[in-house]
Chain A
Amino acid sequence: MKQSIRRIAALLLAALMTLGVTAVMAEGPTVYDEPQTFTMWCSMDKAAGAISDWSENLVYQEMAKLTNVTVEFQHPPVGGEKDAFNLMCASGDYPDAIQYSWLTVPGGPANYISDGVIIPLNDLIDQYAPNLKAYLEAHPDINQQIMLDDGTYYVLPSIYQDIELATHQGPVVRGDFLEKIGMTPEEFPTTVAGWEEMLIKVRDCEELEGVIPFFFAQMTNISESPVILGAFGITQEFYNDNGTVKYGAIQPEYKEFLALMRRWYELGLLDTEFAANTAKLRDEKVTSDRVFAFIGSMGNSITRYTAMCRNENNPDFQLLPMPYPTLNEGETPIVGQQGAKYTGAGVAITSSCENPELIVKFYDYFYTEEGHMLSNWGVQGLTYDYDEEGNPYFLPLVAENPDGLSREQAMAKYTIWQSQSPVYKLKDVLEQRDCLPEQIEGRKNWLACKNEIIMPPVTPTAEEADEFATIMNDCTTYMQEQATKIIMGEVDLDEGFDTMVSTLKGMGIERAIELRQAQLERYLARI
């Protein structure tokens, strides 16, 4: 409904303009009479292979037409972004703006303000970004995420419209194998005990000989998405227990999880190679019908594997996103995989920039409704259009690109939805990308978690960052090794877990928790 009203409004506006009536567009971009330009450092992201410079991106070409502002891009080599970013900062030779994932910078973003690489944006946003400002005022949760502990804005942010966009990973099960063990998707177990029974059935099913009941790729996979572990109410690394920061792997619950995994390993329910599995091995095992359940993602696993495997020889091939199991029947899963609406991505303005106003005004347009459409969908009639109900959909130029670009690549060429750009990322676009019926249905399963214990996007101070990284480097390596040994039965459960706790404490895990705690408190105290 809302969409169709908007569409009518747009049509009316167009009609008015063709009639020669000059409409004052409250939401329109800032137009310059003289050509303007600024330089920006940004990674190629998903556009690599589709275009060789972002100035070929449709959104920026449209913006140049609309506003007379062109952007000169500087691109680091794909895969070398981190090094290139560090080198650029070290060289003191900055472009006007830097588009990056700012929560992952070494030392944290605050450091870059105090060292004078990037500038605070508070006054600039106040004066020149009315649309972003209005949005932040209406959304205090986002406001809290994008500022530093002292209230400084450092970035023109990329924001998810819906938290749904931040969930992309979870338990995945072969639907056609479920049938073979005589189970319908509706009967799918919601408890850990139910999972165990189901996995045993898979193991014992004659038709499914050689199929790995539960597959995961190294302990890092559990950190990314706490399948099974989440049932115990913790995550593998840091989590927020009602305002108190805790580290999962030293909690008694983690020992219970390890005990369970150890039992599953002995029972032959886990992949014996779990500690050496990689993404490539997962591709191979899943696509050659050797995996029943695994930790997968919406696009990279489900879309891709289905496209590869569902054909004449294997018409029933189906991957279903399934709910996270709980310990007791009827509970809501405590935690699943979920990011934040602000991931850290966005554009910051450097101290070398002579006209920051230009950049702030330029990007403020993307926080208007018109700007949403342009940045998320491209140009109407060329890359998208509205269906009868007024919902936008991609036209063949994007959906089935004639030049042979994949849909994802085409999206990267004609929109900036998948980039680190200051975009308000619309939910509808996701449904255009991951559009199998089982994905649209199954996404709800992954979202149905409380997720209260997930850490918010906190920021460290410069001094902290170094100490924290030093401690966590040893701790993470050790935790993964020891957990693997315990699961594989190479060390005794009780003794091994006690050693793990004491060794991690010896490495300074308590100090790391303390630092995280302080970060969390400062985060919660943000205005």
Chain B
Amino acid sequence: MVSASARRVQIGRKSLRQRVVKDLRRYKYVYLMLLPLIIWYLLFCYWPLLGNVIAFKDFKPMKGIWGSDWVGFKHFTSFFSSYYFGRLLRNTLLISIYCIIFSFPAPIILALLINELRLPRYKRVVQTITYMPYFISMIVICGMLMDFLKKDGVITSVLAAIGLPNENYLMMPGAFRTIYVTSDIWQHCGWNSIIYLAALSSIDQELYEAARIDGAGRLRQTWHVTLPGLLPTIMILLIMRVGAVLNVGYEKIILLYNASNAETSDVISSFVYRRGILEANFSYTTAVDFFNALISFVLVIVTNTVSKRKTEYGLW
């Protein structure tokens, strides 16, 4: 009995080893191609990543990463027990969720509309123009927003004409998220549509032919051919977007922030900017990053699993 089970294990092992050997032999070039990638990730991501232990230390520049004193979860508790923690989490999540609901689909719609254009030159011009705002620096974009949204500003005047108050909209906590999301679409929609335009170009034209022969109209072609063709790209990007749910960048927030809209505008990153970066409190920033990463990672795993089950597409 004993020897039989041992033999079985041995056979199991052997067959695993055999399978591995077979796999390595068959895909030797694939693994060869992966080698530089793996080396790069080890060197430039994983090695520095070890240094993130400063989240659990009191990093002092002069003592270095390894010489600094351990403090356990001090920075985490300090962040969780901050007076503003609830507000920061709420604002970050809400801004991010609004972005997923509104700014995420916008480039898909834009790409579909551009795809439907029959005038090739016009199409190119529209494509080129819509992607341009991406290149204008945030400082300038926010400067324009402040200008347009002040009392008697361009947008304010338009809104006043339809019966809304003629006041500085950046001073209204209720308007901040709308401003943030709308301007995000304005600035990034065209740029983000590029990836979908590329994906559209690789959809098999024969599928459209077939759909047309079946008598499908535009809308049904879009629904039955185009969207399924875009689905892998959409799902992958969506998973990555959900994984960035706590990463609302600080630059735009800091530029549009003021004491009267802080109620809705202050987010984790802008708080960390004041508390960690300006004060050179690197352990604190790393701790908050770690917290963000953990939450995002859990979300990604959940989304990825759901996506794989429903659409067969996933990150891994």
Contacts and interface: CB of A to CB of B under 8 A. Distances in A.
Interface of A: 82-83, 86, 89-90, 92, 106-107, 112, 115-117, 218-219, 272-273, 275-276, 278, 280-281, 466, 469-470, 473-474, 477-478, 480-481, 483-485, 488, 503, 506-507
Given A115-B63, A272-B167, A280 B143 contact: yes
B253 to A, nearest CB: 13
B146 A275 contact: no
| CB-based closest 9 A-B pairs | A115-B62, A90-B61, A106-B280, A89-B61, A275-B260, A480-B259, A484-B259, A86-B280, A273-B168
Interface string B239-264: 00000000000000000001111110
B281 A469 contact: yes
Given A480-B259, A481-B262, A82 B168 contact: no
B150 to A, nearest CB: 6
B279 interface: yes
* A92, A116, A273 — most chain B CB neighbours (10 Å): A273
29 contacts: A83-B277, A86-B61, A89-B62, A90-B62, A92-B64, A106-B281, A107-B280, A115-B62, A218-B258, A219-B259, A272-B167, A273-B171, A275-B258, A275-B259, A275-B260, A276-B146, A276-B150, A280-B143, A469-B279, A469-B281, A473-B274, A473-B279, A474-B83, A477-B84, A477-B274, A481-B259, A484-B259, A484-B260, A506-B83
Contacts of A506: 83
Contacts of A466: 281
A218 B259 contact: yes
Contacts of A280: 143, 146
Contacts of B262: 477, 481
Interface in B190-243: none
A276 B82 CA distance: 26
A82 B61 contact: no
B177 interface: no
Contacts of B280: 82, 86, 106-107
A278 to B, nearest CB: 7
Given A89-B62, A481-B262, A106 B279 contact: yes
Contacts of B259: 218-219, 275, 480-481, 483-484
Contact of A276 (B61, B258, B266): B258
Contacts of B281: 106, 466, 469
Contacts of A474: 82-84
A470 B78 contact: yes
A219 B262 CA distance: 13
A297 to B, nearest CB: 21
Interface of B: 60-64, 78, 82-84, 143, 146, 150-151, 167-168, 170-171, 258-263, 266, 274-275, 277-282
B159 to A, nearest CB: 16
Nearest to A219: B259
Given A273-B171, A481-B263, A483-B259, 4 more contacts: A90-B61, A106-B281, A278-B146, A474-B84
A14 to B, nearest CB: 49
A481 B36 CA distance: 52
Contacts of A503: 83
A470 B62 contact: no
Contacts of B275: 469-470, 473
B63 A82 contact: no
A89 B258 CA distance: 33
A278 B259 CA distance: 12
Contacts of B60: 115
Nearest to B256: A276
A293 B134 CA distance: 39
A281 B171 CA distance: 14
B78 A273 contact: no
B87 to A, nearest CB: 10
Nearest to B266: A477
Nearest to B262: A481
Contact of A281 (B63, B146, B274): B146
B171 A275 contact: yes
A117 B82 CA distance: 32
Contacts of B171: 273, 275-276
A475 to B, nearest CB: 9
Contacts of B62: 89-90, 92, 112, 115-117
Nearest to A469: B279
Contacts of A90: 61-62, 64, 282
Contacts of A218: 258-259
A434 to B, nearest CB: 28
Contacts of A82: 278, 280
B146 A478 contact: no
A377 to B, nearest CB: 36
A481 B260 contact: yes
A272 B278 CA distance: 30
Nearest to A466: B281
* A92, A470, A477 — most chain B CB neighbours (10 Å): A477
A276 B168 CA distance: 8
Contacts of B266: 477
A218 to B, nearest CB: 6
A219 to B, nearest CB: 6
B23 to A, nearest CB: 44
